[in-house]
Structure 1
């Protein structure tokens, strides 16, 4: 019987496993070196409960949301090369969301260099989770930057406290001054553009932006989103964030669970937080990095917890 079972997409195992992510390849090489037995199987979410109960192994589930003491749900945690490796789920469903952020216990001399390196790569490099336009656009000061997601995506829809239109309409009604909204780069639905055009007609201080995400965040007084990775990127800009959905990085943001709550938060001056400490705590402490020299040791320690 194997000590560890990796459940991965069928497409990865075609062509001799050439589609396997480097994160898993590094782990498997390290496990072989240590004499730890493992198996790789096709991910079948319907059969997962029976598969886990059939043995005593640790089951690593790619893009998983399967809570179990012997399950480890794994996928990229917003920013490469960091991965969630969690017994509850990934991203919005990970156990990090329920964890206490011990801000006062974190050494700033450890957190700040980590934060600066990540900020230099992401902000300085003008990169994001999704491809961004390279050309820089100069924007004037923006009171609120709103970043949309598509609730048509199964997981996003499940985690909304407000839908994207409730969120945007509330911001437009309550914020005096320039507001800019950026549609999700993968949302090609003409209905989205039509609705944005209609809202812009009602609120002249709103404009739509399709440029590089960092050009907008850099001039925004605050950032509002459901639970997009843009919230993490805004932290790297040291910008206050309002989240309108379930998230595992809410600890240094304001969270609005209703239109009334969102209106109340918008009525208060934005307050900056300990973003450097949080970024280290989230990524350096809770996530695994696929490029760390101690990846396999940390992986095995998480399996043993």
Structure 2
């Protein structure tokens, strides 16, 4: 039973898979079954996580920390059908976060083709402008300085407002439950800095209109890359390479990065096409098996030539 995979899924992902509507996990199952493995699927409850290390075989979690050395975790890479399957749940610990972006090695024409398809798929016919303000998508725990952050979100706001002169519009995350104390602190900051304001919702529209994005490590900053919007990051993340990253370079250098021209097309091509697994591509199963083999799982590598995908 060593050649057995247990998928541990959260309820929404489990419901989609049971309904035949989760392409990624359906193809994962098909890939490992094609090389003789068996597969079972469980809801990732506390008891299931506690019992997992004692089970034979291998495990794959969805957006959760693996529970033992025969387990990996997976997470969608911000857009499309791009996924990562890694040994750690924290994105800033993924291999891609520690690699150098090899811009000169990415073919210019391939990058243009890839980026054009990606932007059209994500943006459609929506208009993108630069109206002279910065967008600050807030996340949660505004007063906490967590280990992967250079400072707390509240400290980030104060730091930015004394260094940035253009308007900054912060938005609240729709899935976060902000405390009355946090909301009062935001009101106090808005009263103290006239060029700072906070609003509920509206982030996608503001992203299309802003000059750049300021955040800890919100996925909105990555979405901004697709619209050619620079980013100023105050926390560690996997897509820091072309951003002004305070944890990696300090505040002054990070601010200077906002004015530097970045090749968004080449970066997105490298980050998505070359570093992630695309579950919409015909070669996904072969790439997944090769990836699992490289991670130490006893699956055979696909005995075929794996084509390089050009379009998303």
Q: TM (normalized to structure 2)?
A: 0.78
Consecutive unaligned residues of structure 2, counting only runs of 5 or more, are 295-312
Deviation for aligned residue 1:277: 1.3
Q: How does 1:135-154 map to 2 (within 5 A)?
A: 140-142=131-133, 144-151=134-141
Distance 2:83 2:16 in 1: 25
Distance 1:16 1:165 in 2: 39
1:171 aligns to what? 160
Alignment check: 8 A CA contact 2:20 2:26 kept? no
Distance 2:120 2:175 in 1: 25
Classify the secondary structure of the residue corresponding to 1:88: coil
Alignment check: 8 A CA contact 2:230 2:258 kept? no
1:256 aligns to what? 246
- 1:219–1:85 distance in 2 versus 1, CA, 3 Å: same
Does residue 185 of the first structure (1) align with residue 178 of the second (2)?
Answer: no
Distance 2:8 2:170 in 1: 36
1:103 aligns to what? 103
1:46 aligns to what? 50
Classify the secondary structure of the residue corresponding to 2:96: helix
Deviation for aligned residue 1:188: 4.3
Q: Equivalent of 1:239, from 195, 218, 229?
A: 229
- 1:233–1:125 distance in 2 versus 1, CA, 3 Å: farther
2:309 aligns to what? none
Q: How does 1:179-218 map to 2 (within 5 A)?
A: 179-189=168-178, 190-210=180-200, 212-218=202-208
Distance 2:195 2:225 in 1: 25
Q: How does 1:1-305 map to 2 (within 5 A)?
A: 1-9=1-9, 11=11, 17-18=18-19, 21-43=22-44, 44-51=48-55, 55=56, 57-66=57-66, 70-89=70-89, 91-124=91-124, 140-142=131-133, 144-151=134-141, 157-189=146-178, 190-210=180-200, 212-257=202-247, 261-262=250-251, 265-266=254-255, 270-305=259-294
Distance 2:68 2:268 in 1: 27
1:130 aligns to what? none
- 1:47–1:172 distance in 2 versus 1, CA, 3 Å: same
Q: TM (normalized to structure 1)?
A: 0.80
Consecutive unaligned residues of structure 1, counting only runs of 5 or more, are 127-135
- 1:264–1:109 distance in 2 versus 1, CA, 3 Å: closer
Distance 1:125 1:88 in 2: 37
Deviation for aligned residue 1:219: 3.5
Question: What's the Cα RMSD here?
Answer: 3.4
- 1:70–1:47 distance in 2 versus 1, CA, 3 Å: same
Classify the secondary structure of the residue corresponding to 2:250: helix
- Higher alpha-carbon deviation: 105-114 or 38-47: 38-47
Classify the secondary structure of the residue corresponding to 2:241: helix
Classify the secondary structure of the residue corresponding to 1:145: strand
Alignment check: 8 A CA contact 1:87 1:95 kept? no
Alignment check: 8 A CA contact 2:224 2:230 kept? yes
- 1:184–1:277 distance in 2 versus 1, CA, 3 Å: same
Aligned residues: 289
